[in-house]
Amino acid sequence: MHDASWEEPITFETNKLGKYWTVTSTAEAARALMDKWPVDTGGAYEAALRTCLAAMEGDETPDAAREAFLKAAEEAGVFIRI
């Protein structure tokens, strides 16, 4: 299993107002999508989860997982601090 750290972490507001979580790796992004995300549907959400899991298996790059995570955040209206 691969869990390369991201060069640029992403901090996002969780589904609890005022609570933030910083994601620094693909594994943390997958965990955030499964446990802390405000929605569990949507094309970008599903693509991000698939891409993160594929990156952990070595079939995608950490950069692809990070970009997919950002698209899922945009789709869900999640506040992001980069």
pLDDT mean over 54-78: 96
> Alpha-carbon distance 55 to 65, whole Å?
7
Say what the pTM is. Answer: 0.92
CB 4 within 8 A of CB 26: yes
Cβ within 8 Å of residue 57, ≥6 positions away:
1, 2
Higher model confidence: residue 17 or residue 70? 70
> Alpha-carbon distance 35 to 50, whole Å?
15
> Alpha-carbon distance 17 to 78, whole Å?
11
pLDDT in tens, 2-55: 777 899 999 999 878 888 999 999 999 999 999 989 898 999 999 999 999 999
pLDDT in tens, 30-39: 999 999 898 9
Q: Looking at residue 57, what is its pLDDT? A: 94
In the sheet that 5-13 helps form, which strands lie side by side, from edge to edge? 20-25, 5-13, 80-81
Name the token pair of 42: 């949507």
pLDDT(1) > 70: no
